[in-house]
């Protein structure tokens, strides 16, 4: 029983460490301007992140970041980690950066970002 808890704790800590590593790579991701204020972007993110197969691990709107981890596909596979950084550009636009850290350690974000930005733009357009 204790061995199982120790393994689970190690997996959780490893997941958080890899997600934090994504945040540490600020300005290493792909950024785009979104024609919506930061509040609208934040309101849209809870629907966009799970649609890509990620689970939100931590969100801090005051500091402008959301950290997510890809859902586990197998016990030994952590999945990719994702940081979404949101900065205001005036009152009607936001700069949104996506930093992906692949499980293997590369930081190529090409697979997730086009779909992420497409879904984010659609979600902020639907917002009242």
Task: Give, as one character, the DSSP assignment of residue 74.
Answer: B
Q: Which residues pair with 95 in a beta bridge?
A: 33, 87
User: Hey, where are the domains in the chain?
Assistant: 2-126
Average pLDDT over every residue of 68-94: 81
Q: Quick check: helix, strand or coil at residue 50?
A: helix
Contact between 73 and 11 (Cβ < 8 Å): no
Topology at the third CATH level for domain 2-126: TATA-Binding Protein (3.30.310)
Distance CA 18, CA 86 (A): 20
Q: What is the pLDDT of residues 25-42, one digit of tens each?
A: 556 789 999 999 999 999
Predicted TM-score (pTM) of the model is 0.74
Q: How sure is the predictor about 77, in pLDDT bands with cuts at 50, 70 and 90?
A: low
């Amino acid at each position: 029983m204790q061995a199982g808890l120790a393994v689970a704790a190690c997996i959780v800590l490893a997941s958080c460490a890899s997600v934090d590593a994504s945040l540490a790579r600020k300005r290493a991701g792909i950024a785009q301007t979104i024609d919506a204020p930061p509040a609208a972007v934040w309101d849209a993110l809870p629907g966009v992140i799970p649609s890509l197969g990620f689970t939100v691990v931590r969100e801090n709107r005051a500091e402008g970041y959301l950290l997510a981890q890809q859902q586990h596909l197998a016990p030994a596979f952590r999945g990719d980690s994702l940081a979404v950084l949101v900065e205001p550009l005036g009152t009607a636009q936001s700069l949104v950066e996506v930093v992906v850290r692949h499980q293997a350690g590369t930081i190529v974000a090409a697979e997730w970002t086009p779909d992420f930005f497409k879904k984010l733009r659609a979600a902020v357009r639907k917002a009242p």
